[in-house]
């Protein structure tokens, strides 16, 4: 008859990220992280890039690709917040539990602040592009773009992305401080969100590479969230 694990044996097994059982909650959180990563990779790949001071920019804004790309990014932020809450839950029995919860809360708050700006980009600039094309007026496009992007909304996305970055970094720190064997699992995702604001000024190839970095970080974290280990750690 197989021996029943003792309390001491169970205590020797870490309850960190890789010790999480294949519970439906963790599987759902991992699926959310994986889908979020896919969304962050799709966004810059699908988003049309062009000279945004001309009618070519209006054509880009008015396109279906513009709506699809930005809608995908918005969904990705929501899924990211859900996934990171699952990571925090998986770390609840570790010494880093409070740190992980703080990271998840900051990331969720940041996603909430970021979404209004993405909505303005998606739907406001789409309508601006359509209007500029109807009138054949590139100057109208420039003025509307400036009003939508650089007024009050810019503070929302700046604060939001800084909070998401802080949350991802704190969760990576919590994973590192936990007794999980894959201590590095949160680092790529944290690096991706630390670079989110700077990459806005880059060309499409850099932004696509950045999206792939976030996708890789999300998939790594998702994989580690559900991976069951039988190893013991002192």
* Mean pLDDT value of segment 114-134: 95
Check pLDDT > 50 for residue 232: no
Distance (Å, whole) CA 201 – CA 23: 41
- Placement of tokens 């790309």 in the chain: 69
CB of 86 closer than 8 Å to CB of 32: yes
Check pLDDT > 90 for residue 174: yes
Flag whether the pTM goes above 0.85. Answer: yes
* Mean pLDDT value of segment 13-40: 77
Check pLDDT > 60 for residue 201: yes
**Alpha-carbon torsion (196, 118, 209, 78), positive or negative:** positive
pLDDT of residue 40: 98
In 3D space, the residue among 16, 32, 71, 47 whose CA is nearest the CA of residue 218 turns out to be: 32
Check pLDDT > 50 for residue 12: no
Query: What burial class does residue 221 get, using C-beta atoms within 10 Å of its C-beta: 0-12 exposed, 13-18 middle, 19+ buried?
Result: buried
pLDDT of residue 14: 47
pLDDT of residue 178: 85
pLDDT of residue 16: 55
Residues of the chain above pLDDT 90, percent = 74
pLDDT of residue 13: 42
């Amino acid at each position: 008859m197989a021996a029943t694990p003792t309390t001491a044996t169970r205590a020797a097994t870490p309850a960190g990220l890789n010790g999480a059982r294949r519970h439906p909650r963790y599987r759902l959180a991992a699926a959310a992280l994986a889908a979020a990563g896919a969304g962050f990779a799709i966004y810059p790949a699908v988003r049309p890039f062009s000279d945004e001071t001309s009618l070519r920019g209006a054509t880009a804004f008015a396109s279906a690709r513009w709506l699809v790309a930005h809608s995908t990014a918005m969904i990705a932020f929501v899924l990211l917040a859900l996934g990171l809450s699952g990571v925090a839950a998986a770390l609840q029995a570790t010494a880093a539990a409070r740190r992980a919860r703080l990271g998840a809360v900051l990331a969720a708050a940041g996603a909430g602040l970021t979404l209004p700006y993405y909505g303005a980009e998606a739907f406001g600039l789409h309508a601006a592009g359509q209007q500029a094309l109807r009138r054949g007026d590139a100057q109208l496009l420039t003025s509307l773009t400036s009003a939508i992007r650089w007024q009050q909304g810019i503070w929302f996305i700046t604060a939001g992305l800084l909070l998401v970055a802080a949350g991802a970094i704190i969760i990576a720190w919590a994973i590192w401080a936990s007794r999980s064997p894959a201590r590095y699992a949160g680092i790529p995702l944290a690096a991706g969100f630390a670079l989110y604001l700077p990459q806005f000024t880059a060309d499409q190839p850099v932004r696509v590479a950045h999206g792939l970095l976030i996708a890789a970080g999300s998939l790594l974290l998702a994989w580690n969230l559900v991976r069951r280990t039988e190893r013991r750690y002192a």
